[in-house]
Amino acid sequence: MSAVLAPLRRWPSRQPLLFLILAAAAWFGLYQTLMPAADALVAALPVERDSRLGGALQFFFYDTPKVLLLLTGIVFVMGMINSYFTPERTRALLAGRSEGAANVMAASLGIVTPFCSCSAVPLFIGFVQAGVPLGVTFSFLISAPMVNEVALTLLFAMFGWNVALLYLGLGLSVAIVAGWVIGRLKMEAYLEDWVRDMPHATAAVGEDRLSLGERLDSGFAAVREIVGKVWPYILVGIAIGAGIHGYVPADFMASFMGRDVWWAVPLAVVIGVPMYTNAAGVIPIVQALLAKGAALGTVLAFMMSVIALSFPEMVILRKVLKLRLIATFVGVVATGILIVGYVFNAVL
Amino acid sequence: MKEIKVLGTGCCGSCTTTVALIEQVAQAKGVAVNLQKIEDLKEVMRHGIMSTPGVVIDGKVVHAGGVPSRAKIEQWLAAA
């Protein structure tokens, strides 16, 4: 990947605007030619178009470039947007605010602030240290990994914009409400002592005026890092999806993950906790479940649980939070996800 | 001799990658460095780093969040 981008990387920095216009045009052109190209490719193969194999192949050849193209475009744009929202700036925006509106802000900033779950703990301490209220910090920590551009892009590419928007709205709601509830519970005493004793830090932001060219570089770096990491998951996911499209009976999952099965939602949440993967890793499973009659609410609850509540993350959080606060965090977030699952299954 | 510390939480491979990359560049440029990987949370927080891996050279934070680019490392080592 980097070998392909290396020669390209010099001129965009010098003529960023021109590059953006050309890249956008090329991107749309490619996107428009996908469907005919997939059709032509499958037609050229010695396979009957209407056969099971033909359907699966067409699905695979159309979806793979579509998803990768969408993901590359969106990750690039988000990489540029991310360069405006450093964790330091987000912290400065949130420090000293009172709860309520700040929870909404924190959850929304969670979408655009670059976040790696490995940084969850330093970020947590940094926020608390600068006087960001505990509940507001949690709103950010819940939203940042769960509502991100990779999850939203994949949902959009595979299930359409309405599912993506629903996920966005519900993810934000869970983060806002769960953070607010944790704030109301006044659990500051359950931070580990050394965290509470840390000297107060001022949430100052340094001057960082990046040029458009430098922001382009952030976009390239994001594509290398994120798309470079998730493409194998996506390929496997689409292959599984293609296989299911052709071969598994349509109502296979409906009997035990359909909307009439009341215990399906809690079970999905419980199964999701020990599983730890990123959004790209869980989409293949989601794809498989949905295609075969599992209810949307149950599937979304499963996806949120896998991404937002993970056992390894709790082990790391244990270094800064006492057990009781971790248990509260898990309880509140799991309840939020349960409600989302049930409401969805009831409404749709 | 430059004192270089790479700060991380030891959870993903990024910190290890960063250490290896700095080692590589230092060797290629023939710069002597004292490279340390620090995963103790209190020590990491003492430098006020919120996204890992962070890089501290001679007591000054020069980088936070993500593996630094080779060009950036070359710059740090050149400014001796």
Overall number of domains in chain B? 1
Q: Count how many pairs of residues, chain A against chain B, have C-beta atoms within 8 Å.
A: 59
Q: Do A154 and A279 touch, CB atoms closer than 8 A?
A: yes
**Which pLDDT value is given to residue A140?**
92
Does the pLDDT at position A276 exceed 80?
Answer: no
**Which pLDDT value is given to residue A169?**
92
A114 CB near a chain B CB, below 8 Å?
Answer: yes
**Which pLDDT value is given to residue A102?**
92
- Domain residues for the domain of B19 are 2-78
CA dist A245 and A265 (Å) reads: 24
Instruction: Give the chain B residue nearest A313 (alpha carbons).
Output: B11
**Which pLDDT value is given to residue A250?**
57
Does the pLDDT at position B11 exceed 70?
Answer: no
**Which pLDDT value is given to residue A85?**
83
Q: Which of B41, B65, B69 sits opposite A121 (nearest CB)?
A: B41
Which has more confidence, A172 or A14?
A: A172
Average pLDDT (A56-64) is 79
**Which pLDDT value is given to residue A215?**
84
pLDDT band at A192; cut points 50, 70, 90: confident
Map chain B to HEC letters.
CEEEEEECCCCCCHHHHHHHHHHHHHHHHCCCEEEEEECCHHHHHHCCCCCCCEEEECCEEEEECCCCCHHHHHHHHHCC
**Which pLDDT value is given to residue A254?**
62
| Listed range (A53-57, A156-160, A252-256, B11-15) with the worst mean pLDDT | A252-256
pLDDT band at A135; cut points 50, 70, 90: very high
**Which pLDDT value is given to residue A173?**
93
Does the pLDDT at position A10 exceed 70?
Answer: no
Q: Do A95 and A105 touch, CB atoms closer than 8 A?
A: no
Cross-sheet strand order for the sheet of B33-38: B33-38, B2-7, B54-57, B60-64
Q: Which of A88, A126, A225 sits opposite B66 (nearest CB)?
A: A225
Contacts of A126 in chain B (CB under 8 A): 45, 48-50
**Which pLDDT value is given to residue A253?**
59
pLDDT tens digits for range A281-338 = 677 677 777 777 778 888 888 888 888 887 777 887 888 889 999 999 999 989 989 9
Contacts of B41 in chain A (CB under 8 A): 121-122, 125, 319-320
Q: Say if the Cβ atoms of A114 and B42 lie within 8 Å.
A: no
The residues with which B2 forms a beta bridge, in sequence order, are B33
pLDDT tens digits for range B38-79 = 888 788 888 878 888 888 888 888 888 778 888 888 888 887
CA dist A220 and A205 (Å) reads: 24
CA dist A298 and A262 (Å) reads: 10
Q: Which tokens is B2 given?
A: 């430059």
Which candidate in B21, B51, B61 is best for mutational testing of the A interface (most A CBs within 10 A)?
Answer: B51
**Which pLDDT value is given to residue A179?**
93
Does the pLDDT at position A1 exceed 60?
Answer: no
With vertex at residue A138, the alpha carbon angle to CA A135 and CA A142, rounded to the nearest 5 degrees, is: 145
What does pLDDT average to over chain A? 81
Percent of chain A exceeding pLDDT 90 equals 11
Q: Domain of B69: which CATH number?
A: 3.40.30.10
Pairing of strands B33-38, B60-64: unpaired
Map chain A to HEC letters.
CHHHHCHHHHHHHHCHHHHHHHHHHHHHHHHHHHHHHHHHHHHHCCCCCCCHHHHHHHHHHHHHHHHHHHHHHHHHHHHHHHCCCCHHHHHHHHCCCCCCHHHHHHHHHHHHCCCCHHHHHHHHHHHHHCCCCHHHHHHHHHHHHHCCHHHHHHHHHHHCHHHHHHHHHHHHHHHHHHHHHHHHCCCHHHECHHHHCCCCCCCCCCCCCCCHHHHHHHHHHHHHHHHHHHHHHHHHHHHHHHHHHHHCCCCCCHHHHCCCCCCHHHHHHHHHCCCCCCHHHHHHHHHHHHHCCCCHHHHHHHHHHHHHCCHHHHHHHCCCECHHHHHHHHHHHHHHHHHHHHHHHHHC
pLDDT band at A277; cut points 50, 70, 90: low
Which has more confidence, A209 or A144?
A: A144
Whether this prediction's pTM lies above 0.90 is answered by no
Does the pLDDT at position A242 exceed 80?
Answer: no
